[in-house]
Chains A and B, each alone.
Chain A
Amino acid sequence: MNLNAAKICLAAGAALWLLAEPGGRAQEKLPVGHGQDFTTESYFEPPHDRQIKMRLSGAEVTSLPGSLEDIRQMRLETFGVDGKLAMVVRAPQCTFAPFDGLANSPGHIELQTGDGKFHVEGEGFMWRQNEQFLTISNRVRTVIDMPAVKMNAS
Chain B
Amino acid sequence: MKKIFLLLALGLGGAALAQVPPAIPASAIATNLPAAKSKPRAQTEITSDAADFDMNIHQAVYRGHVTVRDPEVKLTCDWMVVDLPATGSHLNHVLADTNVVVDFTDEKGETYHVTSARAVYDYKVVGVATNETVTFSGSPKVVTSQSTIESEPMIWDRARNKFSFIAPIMKSTAGLGGSGDTNAPMLNFLK
Contact = CB atoms under 8 A, between A and B. Distances in A.
Interface of A: 22, 113, 115, 117-118, 120, 122, 131-154
Chain B facing A: main interface SS: loop
Contact of A136 (B39, B51, B72, B89): B51
A154 B162 contact: yes
B124 interface: no
A22 B47 CA distance: 29
A115 B43 contact: no
A22 B57 CA distance: 14
A141 B53 contact: no
A148 B55 contact: no
Given A134-B52, A138-B50, A143 B43 contact: yes
Given A133-B55, A140-B51, A140-B62, A152 B160 contact: yes
A14 B72 CA distance: 44
21 contacts: A113-B88, A118-B88, A120-B53, A122-B51, A132-B54, A132-B55, A133-B55, A133-B56, A136-B50, A140-B46, A140-B49, A141-B45, A141-B47, A142-B60, A144-B43, A144-B45, A145-B43, A148-B39, A149-B132, A151-B161, A154-B161
Chain A facing B: main interface SS: strand
B45 A143 contact: yes
A154 B3 CA distance: 6
Contacts of A151: 72, 104, 106-107, 158-161
B106 A147 contact: no
A132 B90 CA distance: 22
A117 B43 CA distance: 9
A153 B104 CA distance: 13
Contacts of A145: 41-44
Nearest to B69: A143
A26 to B, nearest CB: 21
A143 B44 contact: yes
Contacts of A115: 88
B158 to A, nearest CB: 6
B71 interface: yes
Contact of B46 (A113, A141, A152): A141
A52 to B, nearest CB: 19
B44 A133 contact: no
Nearest to B45: A143
A145 B49 CA distance: 21
Contacts of B43: 143-145
Nearest to A87: B55
Contacts of A22: 56
A133 B54 contact: yes
Contacts of A135: 50-53
B127 interface: no
Nearest to B123: A149
A149 B133 CA distance: 11
8 A-B pairs with the lowest CB-CB distances in the bound complex, closest first: A148-B42, A147-B39, A132-B55, A151-B161, A142-B46, A140-B51, A134-B53, A144-B44
Interface string B160-191: 11100000000000000000000000000000
